[in-house]
């Protein structure tokens, strides 16, 4: 198993300065790779970042998409659709430049869009997403990068909440470039069984986020880790387990994720404690 750390624990806008200051610390703590939360194209130099990672014995595990209101491929706002498609293309390009093969996250919708709509409207939205993800997957094949769809909890989306929703979306799009990304935090809210969700995903699972129920360090809360780990072993999962946690220090992300209090004394303590638990879990 390979272990990565998501940069959103420190910043919502990852820059060259973060590359310089954080990369050696990630290696010192013991991570194998770094998952970059991509704010916008041009926030950091891809080539210099890749070189810095390699100099420190790290790789880019994945690029995580941040989907705001103006990045929404399920419509009906055409400008937002174009914004979402353009951003997905930027994410695929970033992955290619950083020599990683997974662009992940809730690619299907703006985060925070959660409404009760009529079935007719739901069908229109679904068909719109299928069409637009089909376009994105053509680019994904060109770049050699997979798109991994992440179900989110009910408070963050009304569209894809459970693994079976994601499986249906993958089937309807019909591209070999579309995969699944599961997160233990969201699964803990939405799935009847997180372990069963992992088994349902099977070989379509291309990224796993290890996140505690309070978004703190893995192993310090109520997530049922052993059944999840057993399920990952059963599907022979050998890709990335990435820690995605947050603290109030990163104010923009903290507001978006409703992080109102500290769970550890510092972000580095959180990262170190979580990694130690995960390595023990999978040893």
Q: Give me the pLDDT at residue 70, please.
A: 97
Helix orientation angle between 78-97 and 46-55, rounded to the nearest 10 degrees: 40
Per the rule left: phi > 0, alpha: psi between -120 and 50, beta: everything else, 174 is left
Segment 52-62 shows an average pLDDT of: 98
User: How far is the C-alpha of 250 from the C-alpha of 12, rounded, in Å?
Assistant: 7
In CATH terms, the fold of domain 2-281 is: TIM Barrel (3.20.20)
Integer Cα distance of 214 and 63 in angstroms: 23
pLDDT band, very low/low/confident/very high, at 238 (cuts 50, 70, 90): very high
Task: Provide the pLDDT for residue 250.
Answer: 67
pLDDT number for residue 197: 98
Residue 246 has pLDDT above 80, yes or no: no
Angle at 255 between CA 252 and CA 260, to 5 degrees: 125
The answer, as to whether pTM is greater than 0.85, is: yes
**8 Å CB contact between 210 and 184:** yes
3-state helix, strand, coil in the chain (%, to 5): 45, 15, 35
- How far is 245 from 214, CA to CA, in rounded Å? 9
Band (252; pLDDT cuts 50, 70, 90): low
| pLDDT digit string, tens, across residues 140-197 | 999 999 999 999 999 999 999 999 999 999 999 999 999 999 999 999 999 999 999 9
Mean pLDDT value of segment 235-250: 88
Distance CA(275)–CA(272), nearest Å, equals 5
Mean pLDDT, the chain, whole residue set: 95
In the chain, what are the domain boundaries? 2-281
For residue 258, the model assigns a pLDDT of 80
Structure confidence at residue 260 as a pLDDT band (50, 70, 90): confident
Is pLDDT of 254 > 70?
no
Alpha carbons 194 and 89: distance in angstroms, whole number: 31
pLDDT in tens, 112-127: 999 999 999 999 999 9
pLDDT digits (tens, 9 = 90+) for 197-212: 999 999 999 999 999 9
Could you tell me if 140 and 150 are in contact, meaning their C-beta atoms sit under 8 angstroms apart?
A: no
């Amino acid at each position: 198993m390979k272990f990565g750390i998501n940069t959103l624990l420190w910043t919502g806008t990852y820059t060259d300065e973060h590359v310089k200051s954080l990369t050696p610390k990630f290696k010192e703590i013991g991570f194998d790779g770094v998952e970059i939360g991509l704010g916008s194209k041009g926030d950091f130099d891809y080539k210099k970042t890749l070189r810095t990672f390699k100099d420190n014995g790290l790789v880019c595990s994945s690029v995580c998409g941040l989907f705001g209101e103006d990045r929404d491929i399920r419509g009906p706002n055409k400008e937002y659709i174009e914004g979402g498609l353009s951003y997905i293309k930027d994410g695929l390009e970033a992955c290619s430049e950083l020599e990683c093969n997974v662009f992940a996250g809730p690619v299907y919708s703006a985060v925070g869009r959660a409404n009760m709509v009529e079935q007719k409207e739901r069908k229109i939205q679904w068909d719109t997403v299928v069409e637009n993800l089909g376009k994105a997957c053509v680019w994904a094949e060109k770049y050699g990068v997979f798109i991994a769809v992440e179900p989110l909890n009910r408070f963050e989306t009304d569209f894809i909440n459970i693994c079976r929703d994601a499986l249906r979306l993958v089937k309807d799009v019909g591209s070999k470039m579309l995969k699944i990304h599961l997160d233990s935090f969201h699964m803990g809210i939405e799935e009847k069984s997180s372990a069963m969700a992992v088994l349902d995903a099977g070989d379509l699972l291309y990224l796993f986020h290890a996140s505690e129920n309070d978004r703190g360090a893995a192993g310090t809360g109520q997530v049922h880790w052993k059944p999840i780990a057993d399920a990952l072993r059963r599907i022979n999962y050998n890709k990335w387990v990435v820690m995605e946690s947050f603290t109030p220090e990163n104010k923009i992300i903290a507001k978006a994720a409703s992080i109102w209090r500290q769970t550890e004394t510092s972000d580095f303590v959180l990262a170190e404690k979580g990694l130690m638990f995960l390595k023990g879990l999978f040893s």
